Amino acid sequence: MLGDKTLAATGIFLVGLFSFGEGIIGGREAAAHSRPYMASIQVAEGDGMKHECGGFAVADQWVMTAVHCLPTGANGRKVVLGVHSLSQAEDTKQTFEILELHNHPQYNPDNYDNDIALIKLDRPFNASESVKSVGFLRAGGIDPGTDAEVETAGWGSLDNLGSRPDMLQEALIRVVSSTRCRRSDYFGRKFTANMICAHKLCPEPCNQPHKMEDSCDGDSGGPLLYNGVVVGITSNGGKKCGQIKKPGIYTIVSHYSEWVDGVMGLGPDA
């Protein structure tokens, strides 16, 4: 158990470490509204709402996210689109109640297999430069291979102490081989065929080329993008961020086309 003084000192050290940098190591603040599909899923806290998870708009009334963000139901959570700063009153923001929550029926809370959920908003969004849906990879599409550079974004913690950014952060990350992520010193058998794992890369200029980080708490539910198309959902399996041998884990979206189409009413029978 760390004493309060140790914690305070660590906090000051981290403030010093991060205040001149670009947020998370391997990440930086995104250009405002450059990722207009980003959703902030928020939960009531006191008089206001607090960011809890990410998500992304896939159609004008649908947001994709991770089951582990809302495992027991919507419980009054809201979805905000058009956000750059969580705290500022941006006129681009559109706030929604959750009309329907569809958690994947085969979600496994022990290993986070099938960590994909769809939220139906209470009304369609008004499309704008700041609010748009994004394409996602379908069955038969080519998933990024080992060492491919992919991108992720979120309002997740900047460090293991849980300090949260106000502005959307983004990071370039690199896919790690499944063979490696299945190793017992990584995720072992908890790493299933429905998962991609990836490490953040160091930004330029970078004096720690081997320092890599994964996405952190609060990034969950957000997108993993390859060539501008969503290929994964930040899942992480509840792991702490920032451990060299624990890359981020992402649900492979292309494995769920049929389920997604069925839920959104786009199936062959619709």
| List of residues contacting ligand NAG (CB under 6 A) | 94, 123, 125-126
Q: Is 91 a catalytic residue?
A: no
Single out the catalytic residue among 130, 215, 220, 235: 220
Single out the catalytic residue among 68, 84, 102, 199: 68
Nearer to ligand NAG, 94 or 111 (CB): 94
Nearer to ligand NAG, 60 or 143 (CB): 60
In angstroms, what is the minimal distance from the CB of 179 to ligand NAG?
45
Single out the catalytic residue among 84, 102, 113, 115: 115
Q: What angle do CA 180, 216, 213 make, to 5 degrees?
A: 50
Nearer to ligand NAG, 123 or 240 (CB): 123
Question: Which spans in the chain are helix H?
Answer: 4-19, 178-181, 257-264
Q: Is 220 a catalytic residue?
A: yes
CA–CA distance, 79 with 88 (Å, rounded to integer): 16
Nearer to ligand NAG, 10 or 95 (CB): 95
CA–CA distance, 39 with 248 (Å, rounded to integer): 19
Sign of the Cα torsion 25, 26, 32, 37 reads negative
Q: Is 68 a catalytic residue?
A: yes
DSSP string, 135-191: -B--TTS----TT-EEEEEE---SSTT----SB-EEEEEEEEPHHHHTSTTTTGGGS
Nearer to ligand NAG, 30 or 81 (CB): 81
In angstroms, what is the minimal distance from the CB of 93 to ligand NAG?
9
**Which residue has its beta carbon closest to ligand NAG?**
126
Alpha-carbon Rg for the chain in angstroms: 18
Distances (CA, A) of 261 to 93, 125, 138, 142: 27, 19, 10, 19
- Residue carrying the six token digits 């809890």: 52
Selection from 14, 212, 109 nearest residue 6 by Cα = 14
- List the helix and strand counts (H, then E) for the chain: 3, 13
In angstroms, what is the minimal distance from the CB of 101 to ligand NAG?
18
Which residues are designated catalytic?
68, 115, 220
